[in-house]
Amino acid sequence: MLAGGGSGVVVTPDGFMLTSAHVVDGSDGSVRASFVDGREVEASVVGTDPLSDLAVLRVENSNLVPAELGDAESLRVGQLVVAIGNPNGFAGSITAGVVSALGRSLPVRSRAAGRIVENVIQTDAALNPGNSGGALADGRGCVIGINTAVAGVGLGLAVPINATTRKIIGALMSDGRFRRSYLGIAGGSRPLPPRLARELGRDECVEVVEVVESSPAAKARLRPEDLIVDLNGEPVEGVDDLQRLMAGELIGENVVLTTVRDGRMVKVELVPVELEV
């Protein structure tokens, strides 16, 4: 756990730890980690991703027992969960609660960009300052979320552990950062018109609300009110789908968006750039 600043969880036997990016924001690359058995060691900040509010630390200690990462996709509303952390400096505290809601959205910002973290877990397990970065665990003891925010009394939020965040964690461990490609739009999920829903066999899409000037989307003449239904043949049913598909591998590559404009299918070709954080 992070002494005096927040909480963390060991995820590998060789000393990788997971916490919240805002917990280590402003550090000089080194923090002090204290464990419930009384050990205190220096930990280095391996990488941070403010746009998911996740960070990876490393301690030079092989005598660690890692937590098992679970899968938040299997959670159900009403399921019992426990929050483990360092609230107000009280190390090793555990509070119990239930999953109050799933699919919440959490706005986050870096110094240069903003993003919405999708599928955030809402819980009524008591969270207080210092819980950030700690584990939210299911009944089997698997970490299914990283506690990130207190939105009110009985209203805590956790970044889910799922396929998307596992990819981010892996990149932070290996490269120290997570690269994202950038289109230059603001958008939101919306229902497809009934005829298109029948044709495509799905109900949702992403509507373009705003196009950033001089962005790849602007250069490709993407317009507000365009409906994005797929990217390179992969279905886009919501903002989380689009964010997941806009991986670093697409930076500088030709991308084809299938959009609906004035009731017609329109293919839009563009080249994403790297999102500056």
For the purposes of burial, counting CB atoms within 10 Å of the CB of 161, is it exposed (0-12), middle (13-18) or buried (19 or more)? Answer: buried
Catalytic residues: 22, 53, 132
Structure tokens at 213: 């000037």
- Measured distance CA(44)–CA(173) in Å, rounded: 12
Tell me phi and psi for residue 66, to 5 degrees.
-80, 155
Contacts 24+ apart (CB under 8 A), 205-212: 205/229, 205/236, 205/237, 205/260, 206/236, 206/237, 206/238, 206/239, 206/241, 206/242, 208/259, 209/185, 210/185, 210/186, 211/184, 211/185, 212/184, 212/185, 212/186
Residue 176 in contact with residue 47, Cβ under 8 Å?
A: yes
Question: What is the number of alpha carbons within 13 Å of residue 164 lying toward its C-beta?
Answer: 23
Question: What is the number of alpha carbons within 13 Å of residue 214 lying toward its C-beta?
Answer: 0
Helices (H), the chain: 21-24, 163-175, 194-200, 216-219, 239-245
Beta strand 227-231 pairing with 234-235: antiparallel
